[in-house]
Amino acid sequence: MLRWIRQQLGFDPPHQSDTRTVYIANRFPQHGHYIPQRFADNRIISSKYTIWNFVPKNLFEQFRRIANFYFLIIFLVQLMIDTPTSPVTSGLPLFFVITVTAIKQGYEDWLRHKADNEVNGAPVFVVRSGSLVQTRSKNIRVGDIVRVAKDETFPADLVLLSSDRAEGTCHITTASLDGETNLKTHYAVPETAVCQSVSRLEALQAVVECQQPEADLYRFVGRITVTQQGEEIVRPLGPENLLLRGARLKNTKEIFGVAVYTGMESKMALNYKCKSQKRSAVEKSMNTFLIIYLGILLFEAILSTILKYAWQAEQKWDEPFYNQKTEQEKNSSKILKFISDFLAFLVLYNFIIPISLYVTVEMQKFLGSFFIGWDLDLYHEETDQKAQVNTSDLNEELGQVEYVFTDKTGTLTENEMQFRECSINGIKYQEINGKLVPEGMTEDSPDGSVSHVNREESLFLKAVSLCHTVQISYDQTDGFGDMPFSHANGFSPQMEYYASSPDEKALVEATKRMGVTFMGNNGETMDIKTFGKSEKYKLLHVLEFDANRRRMSVILQTPSGETVLFTKGAESAILPYAKSGEIDKTRLHVDEFALKGLRTLVVAWRRFSVDEYREVDRRLHEARTALQQREERLAEVFSFIERDLELLGATGVEDKLQEKVQETIEALRLAGIKVWVLTGDKHETAVSVSLSCGHFHRTMNILELVQQKSDNECAEQLRRLARRIKEDHVIQHGLVVDGASLSLALREHEKLFMEVCKNCSAVLCCRMAPLQKAKVVRLLKTSLEKPITLAIGDGANDVSMIQEAHVGIGIMGKEGRQAVRNSDYAIARFKFLSKLLLVHGHFYYIRIATLVQYFFYKNVCFITPQFLYQFFCLFSQQTLYDSVYLTLYNICFTSLPILVYSLFEQLVHPHVLQSKPALYRDISKNSMLSFKTFLYWTLLGFCHAFVFFFGSYILMGEDTSLMGNGQILRASRQLMFGNWTFGTLVFTVMVITVTLKLALETHFWTWINHFVTWGSIAFYFVFSLFYGGIIWPFLHTQDMYFVFVQLLSSGSAWFAIIIIVIGCLFPDVIKKVFYRHLQPTNTQKSQMEEDKISVSSEYDTAESRNRGEDNWQLLAASPPPAHGAALSSPSLLKPTGASAVWTPCAASQRGRAAAHGWAGWWSE
């Protein structure tokens, strides 16, 4: 227990060393000095709370919110000192908000607990005491040998020991981890691969040493030491030996693996992303407004306290005859009395801070986010994917975007590769009908078809078909390991290639069409069929692709026994290391391919002598078995191997643009949004695609910042570009930057670089590393203007950019789901971005901006009369409203109309917003929550509050006389009216006015708006009648008894209500009409155009209806034609016309019978 407490406090971390030692089957050393390492159990915990800590933890989290904490302080003050209002008035709304939020969070956490219990309780088989034992997943310990059967998911991170195949391989899919659906091959080391039975596994003596848990799914460094006949054999372990929790076993009957990472230490659990809290501009504005209103509250409380003591300076007001002070009051400290009075006024005015604002905003965001998922325009039918909302906190931020940063491959393009051209030994070739034809020749040319290829062409095709990590899947499930060889004779109609990269799949499929077919890879040999002849290559080593090297290689032993290296990669990663071959011609061809928008790869090879390969093998083994700095050592060895290359050629693969990309980019540009394309592709390819997708225009002046070698050179080029932008009288400029130049620009010349970028309409960054993408986003995000940024991408390399931007959007593409999992929103295609921003973003922003302003407005209306009333009651802290009204004003009487408004309001029809992207500019720069707008709503609230108070005072004063005891005496009927009557009148006027004010702001009316608007007013009247009309036994005092009934029985009260409501809202109507006609915004112009179209269409419908009725009257006056007769002009009467005008015709008794006759004739 003490150790657990120390671990929780951070004094005793569970992992003391950089590595962990796992004894397979938990056979620990027998000597007494060994102390077992402590590892986590296999329980997955995604829940936040337990039954014991839910209440304290949830309360702590909720009271971290400044508004909740503020109301808690007010509630405690009401409990401690004598305040004018009951503690219930603050406590009940606070309790309501806290309870609703706690129930929501508790329910969500209960669902997480339920899901955790299902996972942790799943049955698994473990090897213990020489037999297979069934247990629960949560009982697996590090070191246990686990058996997993076909189509089951791995219950922990396992190092593969053996499978049902002799070579110890298995196939898995990691779709639930990174979305990649292709089959991946994993391997067991040869010494454990033979242990295919429980008895042999029980006799296995082996130890795994590996790094401590880390979140990177694709990194694993370890080694296994197997003891056989007293000899220790050490083998390296890498990602290809590790089976990750959550992945699924495919095309393999069963495997055995040893658990190395369990529970919350598994890589899947470490990738549970705690999203960084992104805060929207609206939320920041809301917090600023809260601070301003807090200042207003403090000012009113201090002013009231000072005026109270100024008033009481006169003896007659300090201690009037009806309120003599006690001895304790006379002797009490004046400072404490001043503080007590100040706190009492603070409590009296505290409702100016709207506590229900937070809960309403949360509900609006949560419920409003469903509209994105329900929008059929954002649904992609081909892939059956709808838009997805991962966080609803940023809905309104979609309406404020100023910069869009987009990836190219898979985002602007389909990521569906098609082989188009290649260059072999300095000669360009095209694929025509599955044949490789030299450029300038046709398929029918005598020398066009490559049926008998020369040595260079054959070697190139073999290199492309062997240098990859493609897997093959067959429909048959058993004996998959032998499939490639049993199907070597060509009978493999079900064979399908799977690759993690679409480029690799396109290239292997292309070589297959050209006669060199990849038949399979069993981990030791690779089989290809070259023009019908089978060849086996022994696979010695795979040098995996990485983003820094930008190439991958395989080392093979050819059928003739020669050891060769095949490598492919970006031209910048291959050409500098090539020493022979047609280097200049190939470079020229690569540039030509890139100008056509093709993705290029360069292919090369190298032969090894026996001594050279021995040295390579030794170095690779040392680097791969190193536990420390393995990546750095491998990088050194790879550089040593991949040099002195002989160039074979290059490939050009086309990635076609997605549908409507050009229209989407143009719409964003018209909306005032600047689009930056950040891609890893080479310069020429990226520029070509930018031109084809409309990111760059043909008339645009393209500026370049590429191939800069030093800081000084980069700075000088930036200055030249800045001068050129000022001197050139071109409307639009485009900028192209490469990764190396960008690094120099960001290092010393950020300000100059930003100045150039901001003057460009479009920016293209090519040859970008993932972290560089994030740096560019951060640079814009933190610039002086602090623009709102959006990043959109589909691959794992876009995750850092997506997380850095204010709004991150993932594309559900073919490069896995990492981008989607780490994004705020996910869509299936780039074209959906225009509706997401221009329509949903527009609506969300307008709705929540109005919600925030309206909340502050109605609370100013609510509490200002309370402040004014103190001038009429000698600042005695007498409350104007009954405590029940104080409590229910924000919770019941005025809450639903604004919530419904914030869910359904549409200032303009969605089609208009999409067809006129410039309307997006009307709401940019947080214009609806500017200080000017905030001031307008606040002053409007104060004005309305003054009209409520003094209007009621003046209008009721005409019919009443104020008596000395503070009661109002009705002269005519001698009914007693006190301050509760006056306060109720003010409150009634206020509820009606603030509700109707929202009705004036509503443009899009639904039946729900009507129901909650008029229903809220009706509910207030019904509630007040019941509350004041019945003596409730559980109430200690009932000041409001019969007050509301008496108030409504007064004609002057009704007159006052109507006059005051009209007096408040009429100037607002005049202002709206005035501004709408003299200074309309673009949005208001669109509304008027929409209204005209609507009226015009209604008029046309009515006209056609009248014409139809007239035609039927004419028909009724004439007899129907004889059977079989034909009309002279068939167009006069059509089936649609007959059915459409039947209803108006039926209203005419005179024409009904004749109409039936005509209709019957028509049907015949």
Q: How far is CA 473 from the centre of its chain?
A: 34
**Local structure of residue 1015 (DSSP, 8 states):** H
Q: Say how many C-beta atoms besides its own lie within 10 A of residue 181's C-beta.
A: 11
* Helix, strand and coil percent figures for the chain, each rounded to 5: 50, 20, 30
Distances (CA, A) of 318 to 307, 323, 330, 336: 12, 9, 11, 17
User: What pLDDT was estimated at residue 974?
Assistant: 36
Q: Which residues pair with 183 in a beta bridge?
A: none
- Counting Cβ atoms within 10 Å, is residue 866 exposed (0-12), middle (13-18) or buried (19+)? buried
The segments of the chain whose pLDDT lies below 50 read 4, 6-15, 273-275, 445-450, 476-492, 958-976, 1111-1164
Q: How far is CA 153 from the centre of its chain?
A: 27
Task: Tell me the pairing of strands 427-432 and 435-438.
Answer: antiparallel
Q: How far is CA 148 from the centre of its chain?
A: 35
1107 Cβ contact partners less than 8 Å away, ≥ 6 residues apart: none
Which among 1097, 1080, 1094 is positioned nearest to 919, based on CA atoms?
A: 1080
- Counting Cβ atoms within 10 Å, is residue 560 exposed (0-12), middle (13-18) or buried (19+)? exposed
**447 in Cβ contact with 479 (< 8 Å):** no
User: What pLDDT was estimated at residue 999?
Assistant: 93
Spatial distance between the Cα atoms of 339 and 63, rounded to a whole number of angstroms: 25
**Local structure of residue 840 (DSSP, 8 states):** I
User: What pLDDT was estimated at residue 962?
Assistant: 32
The tens digit of pLDDT for each residue in 1017-1034 reads 999 999 888 887 766 665
**845 in Cβ contact with 928 (< 8 Å):** yes
Q: Say how many C-beta atoms besides its own lie within 10 A of residue 595's C-beta.
A: 13
Cα pseudo-dihedral 948, 950, 953, 959, rounded to 10: -100
Which among 880, 892, 896, 901 is positioned nearest to 1021, based on CA atoms?
A: 892
Spatial distance between the Cα atoms of 294 and 854, rounded to a whole number of angstroms: 17
851 Cβ contact partners less than 8 Å away, ≥ 6 residues apart: 360, 361, 364, 898, 901, 902
Read off the amino acid at residue 769: A
Read off the amino acid at residue 30: Q
The tens digit of pLDDT for each residue in 1123-1154 reads 444 333 333 333 333 333 333 333 333 333 33
Spatial distance between the Cα atoms of 816 and 285, rounded to a whole number of angstroms: 37
Q: How far is CA 505 from the centre of its chain?
A: 30
User: What pLDDT was estimated at residue 276?
Assistant: 52
Which among 459, 261, 284, 259 is positioned nearest to 361, based on CA atoms?
A: 284
Strands (E), 687-744: 701-705, 733-738
Predicted TM-score of the model (pTM): 0.70
The angle subtended at Cα 11 by Cα 9 and Cα 12, nearest 5°, is 110
Find the catalytic residue in 144, 164, 393, 407: 407
Strands (E), 819-910: 825-827
275: three-class secondary structure by DSSP: coil
User: What pLDDT was estimated at residue 960?
Assistant: 45
681 is catalytic: no
- Counting Cβ atoms within 10 Å, is residue 322 exposed (0-12), middle (13-18) or buried (19+)? exposed
Which helix (H) or strand (E) covers residue 1095, if one does?
A: helix 1082-1117
User: What pLDDT was estimated at residue 333?
Assistant: 67
